Amino acid sequence: MKTITLHKPLNIDSIYNYLAQNLNPLFNKHKPTIFKYNVNKTANAIEITQPEMYEGVLFHIELDNCRLKITRSEHYVDDVNSLTLESVMNELFNDLSGKGGTDLVQEG
């Protein structure tokens, strides 16, 4: 799990809306492709999937106060699309956090 601190108060809905709107366009800018990722909101989390290529959830994201707790599927750790997607999400989280940016608290 990776934990990122956001330096701006956000709620799970605003994070979901931002990811749903920007994830695929930014991913395609970095790695042009014909498929799209699904961004789904559950009760208190966001899940990223791509069922045509991958089984299950690629990323599960929870908000705990000002920290994002991101769990990555262990099955696709070295997959180039998964690595690109993680980089894109990091960029989007940094944008969401504004001038304060983000801090990586823990990765493991």
Assign domain 2-107 to its CATH architecture. 2-Layer Sandwich (3.30)
Q: Which residues of 46-69 are buried (b: 16+ CB within 10 A; e: fewer)?
A: bbbbbeeebeebbbbbbbeebbbb
Query: Helical H runs in 1-108?
Result: 12-30, 80-97
Residue 104: its pLDDT value, please? 60
Contact (CB, 8 A) for 15 and 96: yes
Residue 62: its pLDDT value, please? 96
Domain extents in the chain = 2-107
Q: What is the pLDDT along the chain (108 residues), one digit of tens a residue?
A: 888 888 888 899 999 999 999 999 999 999 988 889 999 999 889 999 999 989 999 999 999 988 899 999 888 877 888 889 999 998 998 888 876 666 666 565
Residue 45: its pLDDT value, please? 96
Residue 83: its pLDDT value, please? 87
**To which residue do tokens 């970095």 refer?**
30
